[in-house]
Amino acid sequence: MILETAGRVLDEHQLCDRCLGRLFARLGRGTNEERGRAIRLVLRMERQAQGDFPVLGGEKCEVCGGIFDELPNMAGICLEKAREIEFSTFWVGSRFPAEVLERERALWEKYGIGTAESIKTEFNRELGKLLSEKLGKEPSSVGDLTFIVNPFGKTVELQIKPVYIYGRYRKLVRGISQTPLKGYRDSVSSIICRPVSREAGGKCVFKGAGREDSDVRMLGNGRPFILEIKNPRRRSLNLKSLVVEINSGGKVEVLDVRFTSGDEARRVLTSSHRKEYLATVFVEEGVSPKEAAIVARMLKGAEIRQRTPRRVKRSRTDKTRIKKVYHAEVRWMDEQRFELRLVTDGGLYIKELISGDEGRTNPSVSGILDKPALCESLDVINILDD
């Protein structure tokens, strides 16, 4: 069957040994080139013996046009491009002109061939072998670096796998926003990303698991965050020395810093954690220790209906969310102030829980006291993991 089909193909088309062998790639072992050479040899011997038409040669291949001769050249371009990039495994992908792929598909259909492999698969594999030899590294479909080659255009594009880093941050001072904001010099994101970007030689993107306002400190065990470093030139970063450098500024402190996967990064960013807060509540009309105690009793275990606060309405959908207060505790300070310690669901706006946000948050401290109350200062004390 193989010989008969191959004979019909070669009577009508000029194919090199690779492209001939590739039509039967799924049958037997060896390279396509070896397979093609063997088939042609046997066909020639048979035809000669029968005094039949000789088999066409493969000097000018109709399918590949001799593109496999470009392999060493393409390998050279790949090596040059990857010279200053750190990676331990790599992969090869390619872009071929549509008409080349169309030509081979037309052959498969015309001769009813179901055992072929695509020219791209062979080219990628052969280039991978060459590169593996020169680099001393293994190809892997989940490699750090992917070469996307276009052998007809003689170009190579690099796709570098991002590096993900997990950590938690503590914001020790007020007046720093989490991400860069007009009018602020520093942000949690810029303080952490600056040295990481420099060391990795790529773009560092900071993502927090939630956020706090710029006037709120983030204390305790810190808020989880993920760094995604895009197109990193170096991946074996010294995290310890980066932590020391970030923490030396004294405004933001990072802890538990380690490398992570893209999957874990997504989980960290989408899970909502309970949080523990410490707020100072200011009541201009005055508040007694007894009134403060009522606030704690009423909030503990309460379900809060909170419509999106007026101050963030522009950036979030306006809807009512239901969040729970698990724990509430007060410490009376003076005639106008008490300290309020809370454990709540993630995503509850504490400033509005205190002010009531003109009735948009219910119940609220203002509502319970039946007089205006304001959040004078706020800290996130802990982010509870379970």
Q: Which residues sit at the interface with Zn ion, rule CB under 5 A?
A: 16, 19, 61, 63-64
In the numeric block, which tokens belong to residue 370? 């039946």
> How far does CA 290 lie from the centroid of its chain?
52
Q: Is the dihedral of CA 145, 30, 105, 12 positive or negative?
A: positive
Q: What does the alpha-carbon distance between residue 51 and residue 76 come to, in Å, rounded to a whole number?
A: 46
Cβ neighbours, 10 Å, residue 96: 19
Q: In this complex, which beta carbon is closest to Zn ion, that of residue 18 or of residue 170?
A: 18
Q: In this complex, which beta carbon is closest to Zn ion, that of residue 39 or of residue 61?
A: 61
Residue 153 Cβ, how far from Zn ion at the closest point, in Å? Answer: 18
Q: What does the alpha-carbon distance between residue 113 and residue 13 come to, in Å, rounded to a whole number?
A: 15
Cβ neighbours, 10 Å, residue 105: 12
H-run or E-run covering 258: strand 252-260
Q: In this complex, which beta carbon is closest to Zn ion, that of residue 101 or of residue 293?
A: 101
Q: In this complex, which beta carbon is closest to Zn ion, that of residue 81 or of residue 103?
A: 103
Contact 376, 364 (CB under 8 A): no
Residue 92 Cβ, how far from Zn ion at the closest point, in Å? Answer: 19
Residue 148 Cβ, how far from Zn ion at the closest point, in Å? Answer: 22
Residue of 69, 186, 213, 345 marked catalytic: 213
Residue 7 Cβ, how far from Zn ion at the closest point, in Å? Answer: 18
Q: Is the dihedral of CA 91, 92, 95, 101 positive or negative?
A: negative
Residue 14 Cβ, how far from Zn ion at the closest point, in Å? Answer: 9
Convert 250-273 to b/e letters by CB count within 10 Å (16 or more is b).
eebbbeebeebeeeebeebeeeeb
Active site residue 213: yes
* C-alpha angle 33-36-37 in degrees, rounded to nearest 5: 85
Q: In this complex, which beta carbon is closest to Zn ion, that of residue 25 or of residue 292?
A: 25
* C-alpha angle 202-207-211 in degrees, rounded to nearest 5: 150
Q: In this complex, which beta carbon is closest to Zn ion, that of residue 64 or of residue 278?
A: 64
Q: In this complex, which beta carbon is closest to Zn ion, that of residue 61 or of residue 296?
A: 61
- DSSP state at residue 68: G
Q: What does the alpha-carbon distance between residue 267 and residue 337 come to, in Å, rounded to a whole number?
A: 39
Radius of gyration of the chain (CA): 33
Residue 156 Cβ, how far from Zn ion at the closest point, in Å? Answer: 22
Q: What does the alpha-carbon distance between residue 300 and residue 322 come to, in Å, rounded to a whole number?
A: 15
Contact 373, 265 (CB under 8 A): no
H-run or E-run covering 73: helix 71-81
Max Cα-Cα span within the chain: 116
Residue 18 Cβ, how far from Zn ion at the closest point, in Å? Answer: 5
Q: Classify residue 320 as left (phi > 0), alpha (psi -120 to 50) or beta.
A: beta
Q: In this complex, which beta carbon is closest to Zn ion, that of residue 61 or of residue 292?
A: 61
Residue 17 Cβ, how far from Zn ion at the closest point, in Å? Answer: 8
Residues annotated as catalytic are 213
